[in-house]
Amino acid sequence: MALQPFSALRVPRVRPEYVACACGVARAIGRTLPEAVILEHGHGCGRGGKDWQRTLATLQGIGTNPNVGAVLVVGLGCEAVNGEKLAEIIASSGKPVEYLEIQKSGGSRRTAARGIELGKAMFESISSQTRVPHPISEITVGLQCGGSDALSGVTANPTVGLVSDWIVSQGGTAILAETTEMLGTLHLLQARAADSDVAEDIRTMISSREAAIRRALGDKAHLAIAPGNMDGGLSSIMEKSLGCINKGGSSSIRQVVEYAEQPSRKGLVLMDTPGYDIESLGGLVAGGAQLIIFTSGRGTPVGTPVASTIKVASNSDLWRRMEDDMDLNAGQVADGSRTLKEMGMELIDLVVEVLGGKLAKAEENQQEVIGFSMTQEAG
């Protein structure tokens, strides 16, 4: 397919970010400003070392995501993850940023009132932006699966793999996440490494996660999958992993990045995230993903408040049951009504449409949730 331009996703929205103690104030601002997206998190205090660093990196990454137009940081004033410092970091990216501190702004009501004023002014400032063409080489797509079944690795994930290869061929970036769903595939992924350093990074990432799961689950480690996965026909984490990595297509792996880290190389990238969808999505968005392609066999409505989330059903039964939540039915491959190549082309067309402003089902349904991953043992 020829290189296709896309337009900015849509008018970026104002994003208030805050510590748990500031939740009430941020929600009050959001109730008055429906164009604002509220990022809820409870990690401003009680964290240290790597957890503190990861929290700051995640907030920073989400705030600087290309889809975010302006940021209002709301802090209490005594939290460990300093809101003023966070605002300064995000502002260095060139985005409009404001910071409010409840302890210095007269308490909850006056801070909320001031936040509403600032939010209205910021939205007015960025709403004059117009769509301009961009090449696919400027896009970063996050690859995610949730509620997988026995057909996920046969229909939906290979379909996404074709799209991943296409994005990479156009000079763009695709990020494959969920390290727990790469267990058992180390030899396959290492064989695709761009160089020996990347191969070693892949080994370290997967081996470390596998060791953590074995410490947590012992001889039950091979069963580190959800009950719904088993009900859907999957027998072990290795079987699930063999299907999961199909989302990454066949491109060489250019880089391995930490959770919420923005890749420095284009192409196919692995990100070390847990398998829990909500936390994995947080890492992908913080890593710069402007679009998420999310496959499911059992069905899940979840989306993110920052990146459009395209849902791909692995089977036609799911499509019929949850058509309000699914954007594409890859089950047609199993039904014999579409070839895998045809399904991939259809998904490419949908990706370009969504990048150009078409709302995905998760956005239509206002399924806006995002989580953070701390440096906990198993994922």
Domain co-membership, 91 together with 160: no
Q: Please count the structural domains in the chain.
A: 2
CA dist 110 and 56 (Å) reads: 27
| Phi, psi (deg, nearest 5) at residue 126 | -90, -15
Could you tell me if 308 and 363 are in contact, meaning their C-beta atoms sit under 8 angstroms apart? yes
Q: What integer pLDDT is reported at residue 19 of this predicted model?
A: 58
Q: What integer pLDDT is reported at residue 11 of this predicted model?
A: 39
pLDDT, tens digit, 9 for 90 and up, residues 131-167: 888 999 999 999 999 888 889 999 999 999 999 999 9
Q: Which of 299, 286, 295, 271 is nearest to 343 (CA)?
A: 295
Tell me the mean pLDDT in the region 23-29.
Answer: 89
CATH number for the domain spanning 24: value is 3.40.50.960
Could you tell me if 69 and 104 are in contact, meaning their C-beta atoms sit under 8 angstroms apart? no
The reply to whether 2 falls in a domain is no
Q: End-to-end alpha-carbon separation of the chain, Å?
A: 38
Count Cβ neighbours within 10 Å for each residue of 288-309 and write b for 16 or more, e otherwise.
bbbbbbbbbbbbbbbbbbbbbb
Question: At which of 126, 145, 179 does a domain end?
Answer: 126
Domain co-membership, 297 together with 351: yes
Q: What integer pLDDT is reported at residue 223 of this predicted model?
A: 57
Please give the share of the chain, as a percent, with pLDDT higher than 70: 85
Does the structure show a pLDDT above 90 at 40?
A: no
Sorting pLDDT into bands at 50, 70 and 90, what band is 379? very low
Q: What integer pLDDT is reported at residue 324 of this predicted model?
A: 96
pLDDT, tens digit, 9 for 90 and up, residues 227-256: 666 555 555 666 777 789 999 999 999 999
Beta strand 253-257 pairing with 267-271: parallel
The reply to whether 3 falls in a domain is no
Give the amino acid at 230: M
Domain co-membership, 308 together with 188: yes
Q: What integer pLDDT is reported at residue 5 of this predicted model?
A: 35
The reply to whether 329 falls in a domain is yes
**Helical pair 49-63 and 83-91, crossing angle rounded to 10 deg:** 40
Tell me the mean pLDDT in the region 211-219.
Answer: 74
Domain co-membership, 148 together with 273: yes
Q: What is the reported pTM?
A: 0.90
Q: Which of 296, 293, 281 is nearest to 352 (CA)?
A: 293
Which residue range forms the structural domain that includes residue 228? Answer: 136-364
Sheet of 68-75, strand order:
13-18, 68-75, 97-101
Q: Which of 292, 282, 283 is nearest to 362 (CA)?
A: 292
Domain co-membership, 271 together with 308: yes
Tell me the mean pLDDT in the region 260-282.
Answer: 95
Here the tokens at position 246 are: 């199909």
